[in-house]
Chain A
Amino acid sequence: MSIPVAYVLLLSFGVFCMGACGFLLRKNALSLLICLELMLSAVNIAFVTFARLHENEGGNILYFLVITVAACESAVGLAILLNFFRIKRSIRLDDATALGVEQ
């Protein structure tokens, strides 16, 4: 007995929405990185599901690719965050507006 595809995709959608809403609403930069990871994981679930559905290995391969990119990206993101903290003594993203027009 297998779990219907729709359920798994609903799970993926739910996780993605959690990530997306978290990304828009949280203030802490560390949480934002976690939310990013959440969205990527949701996409990964969808990839694997479709790979099973179509009996096609492409989805599985993409999973590895995405997880690798995600790892790199968190590493880079954490490094930036660390340096940001050193300069501003804060990890609130509202404080990182140097690229915006001067208000």
Chain B
Amino acid sequence: MTESLNVLAALTVLIPLTGSLLWFWVSPKFGEKTAGTGAVLFMLGSFLAMSALFFQVGEPVRILFFEWFALTKTQSVNFSFLLDPLSLALGMIVTGVGTLIHLYAAGYMHGDKSFGRFFSYLNLFVFSMLMLILSDSLVGIFLGWEGVGLCSYLLISFWFTDEANANAGKKAFIVNRVGDLGFLVAMFSLFKAFGTVSIPELLTLINSGAISADQLFWTQFACWGLVLGAAGKSAQIPLYVWLPDAMAGPTPVSALIHAATMVTAGVYLVCRLQPLFMLHGQILEVLAFIGGFTAFFAATIAIFQNDIKKVLAYSTISQLGYMFLAVGLNAPVAAYFHLITHAFFKALLFLGAGSVIHGLHHEQDMRHMGGLRTKMPITFWTMTIGVLAIAGVPPLAGFVSKDELLHIVSGSHRSWAIFFAFATAFMTAFYMGRLWVMTFFGKFRGHHEAHESPWRMTSVLIVLAIGSAIAGFLNWPILWGGSGSLHHYLGSVVAQAEFPTSTEAFASSIKLAIGSSLIGLLGLGLAYWRYRDFKGKEFEGAVWNPVKNKYYIDEIYQSLIVENLKRVGDFFWKVIDGRILDGFLNGIASRAGGASLQLRKLQTGLTQQYAFWVWVGVLILIVGAFSVR
């Protein structure tokens, strides 16, 4: 039994890794069709292996492959996987949505001269992401964590001949390094406190309740470090700035990495280490506040963006904020549920946006779109489902998960959280409605003739639209006669309060559901009313400038941090290195040169002079020998 699990788990991660080594040379040799089909088939293989694992594993299983390296004489880090509901559910999303996006990308990237390189990176990303999810030690997670960061960098700056793309990649990588520092601090603090980096062992130690004051002290650093790490990877305040710029990459990348999978790594990590955070309630509170504020803040920015991908990027930040809000309020199941539904509808929205961009010959500005509903019917209808889902219209996926979230938030009796959550819900509906209406309704304001995308792209949109429509039934609330299956499934590894099942609770939850769907419909309606005959201009006037310019956060970071870092770097380069170090060494060298110039004048070539110096030497020796005696 475990033998076959071993093989399956190894296959799941090794297939994408092999793929990443293949496609970059397969594509130029055998043509892009082979590479594209191969990449999709490899991903499908990985997905099938993952599904087999998903259906076979009941109780959490640890799969040991080999001993990786020794930490101390008795302790070693194992290369091993932990298969439990948390990792399996996310693994299914990564490989499943990943397969669909590979299929889509094969159509989207058609004709690109670096076609093979793209799929190599994409497969490498899936490998890293699976390592992150499946590893059972912090070191293994760190390997995946850095791997996805690397792939994110490579794919954002995929078209690196354009300097803006290269800079966006650098920005993402460097901002993520700040978060990685937090992760390292967390890893070291946990090792210091418990002497192990294996997650099951850590959790057993924490759950045993026998924690000394010293250990508690160190876990505090671990929690803060993890908050920083999660904020970096999952684009939360203050480290969210890289995600909007990451949209410079190809659209399938934005869908796979910067919406559906990689950015959820932070949520996953916090859920995975939930007992650790339970030790420090105040840090969870901070996490919830960060999440809530990010959700609100990013949503206000999203309303004012004109680039279709930027709107979706800020929307992603906002939705991730929702997940952190739920995690912070100690509701990991709700966060996970939103993560799963979000993976579906946000991937759908990004791929739909990609289809629009593709159809309009790389036009991304929504002011130059409009009226596409007749020209791109499949994209229009699938996007409609995505928009309705994220806006929270029942019974689509986004409604169920968001409603559960709102339910938890209103049950938490924190006024700030309630304000953030409901305001964000309204703004989400509004900016998604704005995107939808500006793109598909009104008159066409663009320059190119639009056309529908090829079947490889539209078929993926259809599958994802079905997913976005029905994913909510994964966890249809028990109160409403659903099974709450995700709740039961994840309940074995993470703790979340059960919902009350009384009739009053039912009544209040129905009220909440009606309220939240009304909020969604209101936002959509307002957007339709405002943008149905959009003329290309809006929000004129200086009042809107701060929010149109994303509150000048990038500029503030630039002048406060980047410029100062550059100044420090310049100081070290020009003064410390150039003047002091180089000056010191070059000074010694030139002094030595000067001294030898003088000394070589002694070498006259006159034999008798040499003899004279020999005599002088002998005399000194003789005099010395006598005076010593």
Contact = CB atoms under 8 A, between A and B. Distances in A.
Nearest to A94: B606
B608 A100 contact: no
A20 B608 CA distance: 11
A68 interface: no
Contacts of B604: 97, 100-101, 103
A100 B605 contact: yes
Nearest to A96: B607
Contact of B607 (A20, A93, A101, A103): A93
B600 A23 contact: no
Interface string B582-615: 0000000000000000001101111110011001
A24 interface: yes
A97 B605 contact: yes
A23 B608 contact: yes
Contacts of B600: 101
B610 to A, nearest CB: 10
Interface string A48-88: 00000000000000000000000000000000000000000
Contacts of A97: 604-606
A20 B618 CA distance: 12
- The binding surface of chain B is classed by DSSP as helix
Given A23-B611, A24-B611, A24-B612, A98 B605 contact: yes
Contacts of A1: none
A24 B608 contact: yes
A99 interface: yes
A99 B604 CA distance: 8
A20 B606 contact: no
Contacts of A23: 608, 611
A96 B605 contact: yes
Nearest to A100: B605
Given A101-B600, A101-B601, A24 B615 contact: yes
Nearest to A102: B605
B615 A20 contact: yes
Size category of the B interface is 10 to 19
Interface residues of A, number: 13
Contacts of B607: 93, 96
A79 B607 CA distance: 17
A93 B606 contact: yes
Nearest to B607: A93
A96 B606 CA distance: 7
A53 B271 CA distance: 103
Nearest to B602: A101
Given A20-B615, A24-B615, A101-B600, A93 B608 contact: yes
A103 to B, nearest CB: 7
Contacts of B605: 96-101
A24 B600 CA distance: 22
B455 to A, nearest CB: 86
Interface in B295-311: none
Contacts of B601: 101
Given A23-B608, A24-B608, A93-B608, A100 B603 contact: yes
A98 B604 CA distance: 9
Nearest to B597: A101
Nearest to B604: A100
Contacts of A24: 608, 611-612, 615
B342 to A, nearest CB: 82
B355 to A, nearest CB: 81
A92 B612 CA distance: 17
A97 B611 CA distance: 14
A101 B603 contact: yes
Contacts of A32: 608
A25 B128 CA distance: 87
Contacts of B608: 23-24, 32, 93
A96 B601 CA distance: 16
A93 B608 CA distance: 8
A32 B606 CA distance: 13
B596 to A, nearest CB: 11
Contacts of B615: 20, 24
A43 B606 CA distance: 25
A28 B604 CA distance: 18
Contacts of A101: 600-601, 603-605
17 contacts: A23-B608, A23-B611, A24-B608, A24-B611, A24-B615, A32-B608, A93-B606, A93-B608, A94-B606, A96-B605, A96-B607, A97-B606, A98-B605, A99-B603, A100-B603, A101-B600, A101-B605
Given A24-B611, A97-B604, A101-B604, 7 more contacts: A20-B615, A24-B615, A93-B608, A94-B606, A100-B603, A100-B605, A100-B606
